Amino acid sequence: MGLKRVWKSLGPGLVTGSSDDDPSGIATYSQAGAGFGLNLLWTAIFT
In this structure, the chain runs to a length of 47
CA 5 – CA 23 distance, rounded (Å): 26
> Which residue type does 28 have?
T
Which pLDDT value is given to residue 21?
A: 62
Q: pLDDT digits over 25-37, tens only?
A: 777 778 888 888 8
Q: What is the pLDDT along the chain (47 residues), one digit of tens a residue?
A: 677 777 777 776 666 666 666 777 777 778 888 888 888 888 878 76
Dihedrals phi, psi of 38, to nearest 5 degrees: -95, 5
Which pLDDT value is given to residue 20?
A: 63
DSSP labels, 7-28: HHHHHHHHHHHHH---HHHHHH
